[in-house]
Structure 1
């Protein structure tokens, strides 16, 4: 229990790359990002939220259109929110990730991922209320879907232990 509000604390959910999670009950969704991007969407009226975690900006015609791609993952998350009764005018978004470390890759896919998220949200008229994007280091993100609060921990190297305390594959 949270002593300040006497409400139960949200449960934890680990979001792996290429997945989407929309919570209708309070949940703390966490993920670890390098060049990949997560979009967190919150419905201010219903007090529900969801997150995606995508690795590539867009699925091309020859690709399998899965949530590994920003155009698929972001549109799917918005559709999930709307299927729960959300209206675009009540939705706000936050964007995280998109790091680029030239020592690890020659291609800056992080910037392309960031732009994909921004373009889709702007096209849908969903207000972006905050971003923590770019740079050269990874991030651990924890999104509290009950109040739209985000915790960001920046990490210079992503390690398997960064997924702690999660030990099982969910």
Structure 2
């Protein structure tokens, strides 16, 4: 679901559908654990409560969950999906801004992006297998 984070040390298969939202699949190949976030907007403005709705918050929360489960920051790997502009010229280019947020925050945390499928005009359905890091991608009908 949008504005959510999934993490469990047990193997799982996690699915989500993305338009302009972005999902980051974070995986530790050493411990074979992983999780996924799904955020709607790039940066928390400082108003209201910091939530998983915002990319900067959602990414840091997901990283924290893996670190608390025993991962080291040096072993984390990320795959980034979404950020489509499905409805023509959106005034704020939310999808592109969401993608830039992912790149900026992951870079600042020294987490390499090892898989990347973003932008364009079509939505995506992704299925992430947390213990292998594998992601299956399906494009949805679009413009």
Matches within 5 A, 1:47-126: 47-103=32-88, 105-126=90-111
Max radius of gyration: which structure? 1
Distance 1:143 1:19 in 2: 15
Structure 2 portions without partners, runs of 5+:
none
Deviation at 1:146, TM superposition (A): 1.3
Higher RCO, 1 or 2 (CA under 8 Å, sep at least 6)? 2
Distance 2:40 2:141 in 1: 19
Distance 2:41 2:91 in 1: 15
Question: Which 4+ runs in 1 deviate beyond 2 A?
Answer: 101-107
SS in 1 for 2:90: coil
User: What is the aligned residue count?
Assistant: 142
- Equivalent position of 1:148 in the other structure: 133
Q: Normalising to structure 2: TM-score of the pair?
A: 0.95
- Equivalent position of 1:167 in the other structure: none
SS in 2 for 1:137: coil
Distance 2:73 2:55 in 1: 19
Q: Normalising to structure 1: TM-score of the pair?
A: 0.80
Deviation by residue 1:102-127 (Cα, 9 ceiling, x = unmatched):
43733310000001011111001011
RMSD, matched Cα: 1.2
- Equivalent position of 1:130 in the other structure: 115
- Equivalent position of 1:24 in the other structure: 9
Distance 1:101 1:41 in 2: 25
Distance 1:139 1:71 in 2: 21
Structure 1 portions without partners, runs of 5+:
1-15, 158-170
